[in-house]
Amino acid sequence: MHEADPPTHAFRAWLWAALTIVGLVVAFLAAFGVTVTIVSWGLFADASARSLRLDLAGLLGLIGVFGMGAVLIAGRVALGTWLDVRPWHLIGPGAGIALAICVELALHEWARLSIGYYDWDFIGWTAGLSFSIVLVSVAWFAVAVAPPSADQPPRIGLGLAIVISLRGMAAH
């Protein structure tokens, strides 16, 4: 009898998911380190509450790019092969990352014009919306590049990321 999905494939798929989560933490820390370094060099004119927060735009973009790299590296380690990435696999996630950047910049501008500064007490959970959109984008990328035998974990991750994003949108 031929088994369509041997247990080793299921284990490898979940190992890929676990390694990707670790990779996303590393991606966040690396993106934060790069962004802080660039800001300290003065490459962003002014990271104050009165200017467009290009540092946050850069942070979100780097988290997205590094996160997609983490998906690929985790896939190589867990699945034993490099995942097949086609140019069209990057279109949706890239648009999602661009949307996250736009949302973050718009939220900061709105807060600056409405209340004079960015205030967590006023903005609440919506402050995490752009980050959750980046998570959706990275999960979308993982679904796009997942081999058929390992697509269940990234699909579950994508669903969870969408629920988190919807929570951020419904917060206010």
* Residue-level pLDDT at 19: 96
- Across the chain, what does the average pLDDT equal? 86
Report yes or no on 42 lying in a domain.
Answer: yes
> Is residue 46 situated within a structural domain?
yes
Is the pTM of the predicted complex or chain greater than 0.75? Answer: yes
Q: pLDDT per residue over 28-65, tens digit each?
A: 999 999 998 988 887 765 555 456 678 888 999 999 99
Q: Measuring CA to CA, how many Å separate 91 from each of 33, 95, 144, 156, 161?
A: 26, 6, 10, 21, 18
The closest of 117, 110, 94, 101 to 58, measured between CA atoms, is 101
The sign of the torsion formed by the CA atoms of 101, 131, 61, 159 equals negative
pLDDT digits (tens, 9 = 90+) for 68-82: 999 999 999 999 999
Q: Where is pLDDT greater, at 151 or 126? A: 151
Range of the domain at 50: 7-170
pLDDT digits (tens, 9 = 90+) for 87-125: 999 999 999 999 999 999 998 888 888 888 777 777 777
Residue 151 within a domain? yes
1 part of a folded domain:
no
What is the spatial distance between Cα 11 and Cα 45, in angstroms, rounded to a whole number? 48
Q: What is the pLDDT of residue 77?
A: 95
Residue 36: inside a domain: yes
pLDDT for the residue numbered 2? 45
Residue 171: the pLDDT is: 57
**Is 63 within the bounds of a domain?**
yes
Q: Is residue 145 part of a domain?
A: yes
Q: Is the pLDDT of residue 8 over 80?
A: no
Number of domains in the chain: 1
C-alpha distances in angstroms, 81 versus 3, 27, 62, 77?
A: 21, 21, 25, 7
pLDDT at position 26: 97
Distance CA 26, CA 32 (A): 10
Instruction: For residue 28, count other CB atoms closer than 10 A to its CB.
Output: 18
pLDDT value at position 3?
A: 46
**Burial class (CB within 10 angstroms; exposed 0-12, middle 13-18, buried 19+) of 86:** exposed
